[in-house]
Amino acid sequence: MSLSATDPRTIGPRIRMMMPHLTPLEGRVVDSILARRDFGTNTPLKSVAEDAGVSDAMIVKIAKKLGFDGFKDFRAGLVDYNSLPTAELHQELSPDDTDAEIARKVFRTSIQALEETLSILDPNAFERAADLIFNARQRDLYGIGGSAQIARDVAHKFLRIGVRASVFDDAHMMLMSASLLGEGDVVIAFSHSGATTAVIEPLELARRRGARTIALTNYATSPLASIADVVLCSTAQGSPLLGENAAARVAQLIIFDAVFAAVARRDLKAAERNLAATMSAVAAKRRIA
């Protein structure tokens, strides 16, 4: 089935997920097409090729690499995607923007990331991730930089309901952690690009030791995703100022808000009991005016 035959909401996210598999030239061609405001059902192949500075054959080749049957299929899919209400939510920041306009654009970019992430969320992968986390003996979370902050937020969520998890954000510590894992344990690896070797290597080691592995990334075809048992994907458009990470971070946090709720549901009485206990434990630290 061609990509254009799928849910129109998934067209943009799936194109972005394939971008790492394109050459730099091909990537620039796709960026030029996505940036066109006059792209429509009657836009000719020759016009697109001339605008991008490449041959007609190159455009057709790129369309096929992205999962379409050819240029016409690619054009139809992109037109359908651009006609969606959420497609207009994403707007680039401009030096002429007021502070209020900047706030609106940043919020809308995150809203679009959430809408599109939900459209590509794999229900089976989501359910399997919740099962693995709930049943695990040990849960180790790996991430570097900004991804480590997401891992810490996830560990904090789970601790509130008595589901203990350990966070590792150092390459050596992750490898040490992975070397001690085995059957019954689970690793959750966080990497926006899915190409961070400091996270990939311990995930590979943990898997060799018999642990189950979950990856949270922005690219379903990334090296990290290819070695994980379960893959959960966020998606977000890039921005020269904010980058992809800003909106993707919001989407990734919400994915694990949902996973957290699903894990809690598996033993709701225990979750409620532990939540009451952890809330009570920190209540005394809140100053009452």
Domain locations in the chain as residue ranges: 3-83, 89-119, 121-283
Closest CA to 233 of 174, 185, 191: 191
Amino acid at 60: V
Q: What pTM was computed for the model?
A: 0.79
pLDDT of residue 194: 93
Q: How confident is the model at residue 3 (pLDDT cuts 50, 70, 90)?
A: low
Query: Tens digits of per-residue pLDDT, 31-62?
Result: 888 888 788 888 999 999 998 899 999 999 99
Buried/exposed 152-164: b ≥16 CB within 10 Å, e otherwise:
bbbbebbebbebe
Tokens linked to 231: 């893959």
Question: In this structure, which CATH number among 3.40.50.10490, 2.10.10.90, 3.40.50.720, 1.10.490.10 belongs to the domain 121-283?
Answer: 3.40.50.10490
DSSP 63-101: HHHTT-SSHHHHHHHHHHHHTSGGGGT-----TT--HHH
Rounded to whole angstroms, the maximal C-alpha distance in the chain is: 70
CATH 1.10.10.10 corresponds to the domain 3-83: yes
Return the residue matching tokens 């532990």. 274
Distant-in-sequence, close-in-space partners of 21: CB < 8 Å, separation ≥ 6: 65, 221
When pLDDT is averaged across residues 192-200 and rounded to a whole number, the result is: 94
Find the helix or strand (DSSP H, E) in which 139 lies: strand 138-143
Are 117 and 251 spatial neighbours (Cβ–Cβ below 8 Å)?
yes
Pairing of strands 185-190, 166-168: unpaired
